[in-house]
Amino acid sequence: MEYFAQQLINGVTLGSIYGLIAIGYTMVYGIIGMINFAHGEIFMVGAFTALIAFLILGVLSITWLPLALLIVLLVSMVLASFYGWSLERIAYRPLRGSPRLAALISAIGMSIFLQNFAQISQGARVRPMPPMIEGGVTLMEGAGGFTVQLSYIQIVIVLLTIALMFGFNMLIMKTSLGRAQRACEQDRLMASLLGINVDRTISLTFVMGAALAAVAGVMFLLYYGVIDFYIGFLAGIKAFTAAVLGGIGSLPGAMLGGLLIGLIEVMWSAYFSLEYKDVAAFSILVLVLIFRPTGLLGRPEVEKV
């Protein structure tokens, strides 16, 4: 029981990171109907930016942890948002009226470009970082000496994810930007006729998704302590799977899918073979799509005539 509880905590933590990345996929798909396959590399850029920012703050002797974390989060979100905005302007906007395959190939090209840019500028070896948030809370102690630990970094990741989910839901449901995004999701042409700046709305959607991916990158760095230029591809594929599993186009679905993928991956690694954890996650996705093609919380598309 104690071992299961520990893996449950680990799975929720990993799933929270996947969920934050998956939101970016589902927001972009909800508005322009395309998959941003370079989104995982934005996550990777956020992680590398955080690592460099921590090093600079150490040189500047800014060692108070709350202030350092706030600065690193803000810097990573700003830089990743710039990358997201540039990605939309370069890879998507010129191809918005083209067949979807053209934009898909363009996004894959940008993904490869960002991977190689990180490899050239930061090196191919893994980049470690010493633990920044140490310690935790002991929840249970088993008869065999196994203890269930909830670390402080896990608490930070889960609470930050909940806060961001609540904040983004309020932004989309209660603000003018959210209303513009929902209008563009339903009909971009009609939204433009009603005075909505469609180009700006789409650009801001890319910026918001990139900012969330940067937060996920910072949390990944703090949680695992090692990053490399390839983490964006692996995490991006998992987050895309989470978005499809939960229902692409649904923000709650993206978070639910992220939690499920994280739990499946961790539980399979704990009780079965570590090498086949990805097979387990994708097998669950296939089964869900067979019996519910729109995902767990997705809605079927209604063709307008």
The correct CATH number of 2-291 out of 2.40.160, 3.30.2390, 1.20.950, 1.10.3470 is 1.10.3470
User: Taking residues 285-304, what's their average pLDDT?
Assistant: 74
For residues 282-297, average pLDDT: 82
- State the sign of the Cα–Cα–Cα–Cα dihedral 54, 158, 135, 3: negative
- Calculate mean pLDDT across residues 251-272: 88
pLDDT at 143: 67
Note the pLDDT tens digit of each residue in 212-245.
999 999 999 999 999 999 898 888 888 888 888 8
Q: What 3-state class would DSSP assign to 123?
A: coil
Per-residue pLDDT of 146-205, as tens digits, reads 788 889 999 999 999 889 888 888 888 888 888 888 888 888 888 888 888 988 998 999
pTM for this one?
0.90
Chain centroid, CA 206 distance in Å: 12
Strands in 77-178 per DSSP E: 127-128, 136-141, 147-151
Cα–Cα distance between 233 and 231 in angstroms, integer?
6
Residue spans of the domains in the chain: they are: 2-291
Mean pLDDT across the stretch 130-136?
85
Give the per-residue pLDDT at 219.
94
pLDDT for position 280: 82
- pLDDT tens column, 21-75: 998 888 888 777 777 888 999 999 999 999 999 999 988 888 888 899 999 999 9
